[in-house]
Chain A
Amino acid sequence: SAVISQKPSRDICQRGTSLTIQCQVDSQVTMMFWYRQQPGQSLTLIATANQGSEATYESGFVIDKFPISRPNLTFSTLTVSNMSPEDSSIYLCSVANRLALQETQYFGPGTRLLVL
């Protein structure tokens, strides 16, 4: 199994500012993902963080709004830029290994963001 930590666990931010969320895994993993979970909703994939290259974004999400870094196999960051109240959500980091399709996807505890 993989143990994932996220920082910060929660934050309250003013609109127009940016917040960078960190995700740290206790072991090397092939795949890292960033999800958003709005109140009462299920998870929505923002992007796949690729080591050493640009992240792969899902439809509706762009790099200018959600820049992602992944400098190595155990760490990634997600920045929520120029925030608005609509960005208030829980942001979750997730990891999986590509070695076998039966691998489990593990989730971090999430970062709860409130934008005023």
Chain B
Amino acid sequence: KNQVEQSPQSLIILEGKNCTLQCNYTVSPFSNLRWYKQDTGRGPVSLTIMTFSENTKSNGRYTATLDADTKQSSLHITASQLSDSASYICVVRGDNYGQNFVFGPGTRLSVLP
């Protein structure tokens, strides 16, 4: 069964600190992996998307890594800001035409002043 797991479930850090969120998946065959940020009460917004051949992709203070062999991804947030407080969702898409997206449960990040 295609699944996406994320850890930790929730995380609290101080403003200015770095953190790393983890995503493990069993989706096969694999097409791409995305990280979304979802602010409370809003729809998810895409941060990064990576295909099989990409190992790292950055978007400002967000850096995503992908190891397609071990089926693991991480999202690293540098110099956290209060506005980074949100849920971060890992989504994996399989490589079958029209295959829908498999969502992880999300990691709830709280950045405190």
Contact B44 A109 (CB under 8 A): no
Total interface residues on B, CB under 8 Å, equals 25
Contact B49 A42 (CB under 8 A): no
> Contacts A102-B32, A104-B46, A105-B46: A33 and B89 contacting too (C-beta < 8 A)?
no
Smallest beta-carbon distance B8→chain A, Å: 14
Among the stretches B17-25, B64-72, B74-82, B102-110, the one at the interface with A is: B102-110
How far apart sit A30 and B80, CA to CA, in the bound complex (Å)? 36
Contact A101 B41 (CB under 8 A): no
How far apart sit A109 and B100, CA to CA, in the bound complex (Å)? 20
Chain A, Cβ-Cβ closest to B42: A109
How far apart sit A101 and B105, CA to CA, in the bound complex (Å)? 22
**Chain B residues closer than 8 Å to A110, beta-carbon distance:** 41-43
How far apart sit A96 and B106, CA to CA, in the bound complex (Å)? 21
How far apart sit A109 and B45, CA to CA, in the bound complex (Å)? 10
Contact B34 A105 (CB under 8 A): yes
> Contacts A33-B100, A48-B100, A102-B51: A107 and B34 contacting too (C-beta < 8 A)?
no
Contact B103 A42 (CB under 8 A): yes
Smallest beta-carbon distance B56→chain A, Å: 16
**Chain A residues closer than 8 Å to B97, beta-carbon distance:** 98
**Chain B residues closer than 8 Å to A41, beta-carbon distance:** 105
Contact B42 A102 (CB under 8 A): no
